[in-house]
Amino acid sequence: MKNIILLTLIIFSFTNCSNKEHDASYEGKYDYSKGENYTNNSNVDPEQSNLHIHNKFKEHNTYSMPKNMIEYEFYWNGSNYYPIGWSRNGKIAFRQFTSFDGIGGCLDQIIIQSMITDKILKTIKLDEFNPDVSEDWDNHCDLDQTWDKERRTVLKYLNRYEIEDNSFGLINDSDKIRTNDGEFRIKLSQSLLEEFSEETGAENRTKYKLKVYFDGNSKTISSEVISAHNVDYLGYYKSPFENRILIVLQYQDVSYGEYSHNGGVITIGCDLDSSSWD
């Protein structure tokens, strides 16, 4: 169980489109009152397009429980990911819920991640349950119940990182990003370095490279070797506050038995400012 949790936590990439290591603000570049941040050819709920017209973060008294799960394919074991919101300086928050098939139990946590450096800034554990230690199923592994029970913890950390509620739209599954400056193109390539073998004990190892193209130039924003037999592009989310996106990949890993199969998502930030590219 510990190995599954560790793999889930470390699988996130740690690179992005820009070499900038500081928070870059694009406030004032978009007219939020017209919803340009949501309707720029993206697949987003139009009702959310006018929610963010103020320039400063105001502390929230409550946060809506995230409902829109990132849809991806995995085998038997895999976490559920629920985007919560963006900050105005390039941070995101999402809820990660893992139910351990076969072993039983669950792990429920909020992840705060920088879309500038891709680093995990904070992991907030909301619930963890191991049936080998306790039989108290009634008070664990229920998403609605845990969100209500841990309301103070949710408020404390999401406010601390200035996460805006309801600031995530729907994922756009296109590999093209149209902006006022032109069209960006996302391309994922991969190669299987080693394949799982029960006879030899070999594990799956796949190298992937994620690149973004713009106006004849390209930038490698992530290149990693991970424990998986394949990686796929799912789509991207656009920040409502900056010229920045979150790119989402999925991975799958087939191992020694049905309960050893694993899957998850990889979240990578990209600054759509090509002037910062090498």
Alpha helices in the chain (DSSP H): 2-10, 36-39, 143-149, 151-160
Side-chain-side CA neighbours of 175 within 13 Å: the count stands at: 13
* Residue 259 pLDDT: 60
Give residue-wise pLDDT tens across range 157-194.
999 999 999 999 999 999 999 988 899 999 999 999 99
- Answering whether pTM is above 0.85, one says no
Give residue-wise pLDDT tens across range 63-101.
999 999 999 987 667 899 999 999 999 999 999 999 886
Ranges of beta strands (E only) in 67-198 are: 79-86, 91-99, 106-114, 120-129, 176-179, 182-194
Write the CB contacts of 45 (distance below 8 Å, at least 6 apart in sequence): 38, 169, 170
Indicate whether 28 pLDDT > 60.
Answer: no
Give residue-wise pLDDT tens across range 38-48.
333 334 343 34
Q: Average per-residue pLDDT in the chain?
A: 81
152 — alpha (psi -120 to 50), left (phi > 0) or beta? Answer: alpha
* Residue 21 pLDDT: 39
Residue 122: what are its φ and ψ, rounded to 5°?
-160, 140
Is residue 119 classed exposed, middle or buried when 0-12, 13-18 and 19+ CB atoms within 10 A define those classes?
A: middle
Residue type, 30: Y
